[in-house]
Structures are given as structure tokens and as C-alpha cells.
Chains A and B, each alone.
Chain A
Amino acid sequence: GENVEQHPSTLSVQEGDSAVIKCTYSDSASNYFPWYKQELGKRPQLIIDIRSNVGEKKDQRIAVTLNKTAKHFSLHITETQPEDSAVYFCAALNQAGTALIFGKGTTLSVSS
């Protein structure tokens, strides 16, 4: 089945720096790749997603890039702020295209 690897597991940056989280997936047929942010004690929330027909998508300080050939996608956060501190999860559709398989998460800490 689909396997999603996420790195790093923890990331600490200074406020204003950029943060990059990377994920690889195993099933070349996967065509949907969302990113979720989970603040402490709260539910995961979708922050950005990308489909396989585009290579990059931006939303203000957040961007996601996709390399279908290499089967990896990345989340980029620019000008980080303390409120960006959270656990971030990447995901990809399973082989049947019926459910999301999640990475193990990255704990991002932004210090001011």
C-alpha cells in the first residue's frame, strides 16, 4: 500500500526564518497531496493542498512543491511567526484513491 515518509520529525527555527518539511510517497498513481496543521490540543486543519497536474502552489507565506518523477513534495513556510508553531502532517492518497495516508508529522517550533 501507499507509504508516506516525512522529514524532519522536529524543526526549530527563529522567527522570520524559512521552514521546509519534506515528504516522499511510494505509489506513483497518487494524485492528491494535502498538508495539515495541528496546534496543541486541537484538531488537524487543512492548510494547503496540491494535485498532480501542477508543480507548485502558493498561499501567502505557505507554498507546496511537487516532484512527481522523484515522488516527493515539500511544504515551505516563509517569514515564520510564533503562531506557526504546530505539528504539520503531509498526506497522499492510498493506492485505490479512496483515503489519505498520513506521514508521521513534523513538530515545528518558532522562537521569537
Chain B
Amino acid sequence: DVKVTQSSRYLVKRTGEKVFLECVQDMDHENMFWYRQDPGLGLRLIYFSYDVKMKEKGDIPEGYSVSREKKERFSLILESASTNQTSMYLCASSFLAADGYTFGSGTRLTVV
């Protein structure tokens, strides 16, 4: 069973803090993705990566950056957290882009 593990289930951070969300997959998948999920807005793509050290902007990259130093790990960084970044963050991985994604359990981030 493919496992995508997100390090924190719930996180509370203060405005202006630098926040790291970690995601690890154990199936040697090439592709990894970060989405945020908000009620009524579905899943919106923040960043993705198709190889180590490679990254691509999604539809809503502003205020975020990512890091992929190892194939199994994809980190989402909020450079200076703001209240409008309060959301559920979902990491996913897949072998091919046109393939089923396996999602992590999500990190519910609250910025106060």
C-alpha cells in the first residue's frame, strides 16, 4: 500500500511565522503535489514537483515555496504565514502525472 505521510495533522501558527509542512511518500513516486482545500473551493494546486530539485508553480503559488531535496520528501514552506493561509493542506504523489494520486491525511493549519 502506497503511503503518503504528512508530519502534522493539526498546526497552529502565528501571523508572520515561517511554517514548514512536510510530506513523505514510500513508493518511489516521481511526482509530488501540494493542494489546499477550502470549503466551496475544492482542491487548488499550489506547487508540484516531477523530480528531485525540480518544482513547478500551480494555480495559487503566492506566499508559498517548496523544497524537494530527496525523491521521497516534498516540503511546503509558508514564508510569512498570514491568516488567509488558514486551510487544509493536502500532499499527494503519483508515479505518472496522468495516474491516480495517493493523498496524505492532510494538515489543518490555523494561522492566528
Interface residues of A (CB under 8 A from B): 1, 6, 9, 31-32, 34, 36, 42-46, 49, 51, 89, 93-94, 97-105
Min distance, Cβ B77 to any Cβ of chain A, angstroms? 19
Given contacts A99-B33, A99-B48, A101-B59, A46 and B101 within 8 Å (CB-CB): yes
- Say whether A99 contacts B58, CB under 8 Å: yes
Asked if B48 contacts A101 (CB within 8 A), the reply is no
B35 is an interface residue with CB less than 8 A from chain A:
yes
Measured CA separation A9–B39 after assembly (Å): 11
Residues of A within 8 A of B101 (CB): 34, 36, 44, 46, 100
Chain B: interface size category? 20 to 34
Stretch from B20-28, B62-70, B102-110 forming part of the interface with A:
B102-110
Q: How far is the CA of A99 from the CA of B40 in the complex (A)?
A: 21
A98-B97 contact in complex given A43-B90, A43-B104, A43-B106, C-beta closer than 8 Å: yes
Q: In the complex, what distance in Å separates the CA atom of A104 from the CA atom of B58?
A: 16
Q: CB of B111 within 8 A of chain A?
A: no
**What is the bound-complex CA distance between A45 and B40, given in angstroms?**
19
Query: Taking the nearest CB of chain B, how far is it from the CB of A73, in angstroms?
Result: 14
Residue of B nearest to A4 (CB): B42
Q: Whole-angstrom distance between the alpha carbons of A49 and B43 in the complex?
A: 17
Cβ-closest chain A residue relative to B43: A102
User: Bound complex: CA of A103 vs CA of B31, how far in Å?
Assistant: 20
Inter-chain contacts of B97 with A (CB < 8 A): 93, 97-100
A31 to B33, CA, bound (A): 19
20 A-B pairs with CB atoms under 8 Å apart are A9-B40, A32-B99, A36-B101, A43-B105, A44-B90, A45-B103, A46-B100, A46-B101, A89-B42, A89-B43, A94-B45, A97-B98, A98-B56, A98-B97, A99-B33, A100-B97, A102-B44, A103-B42, A104-B41, A105-B42
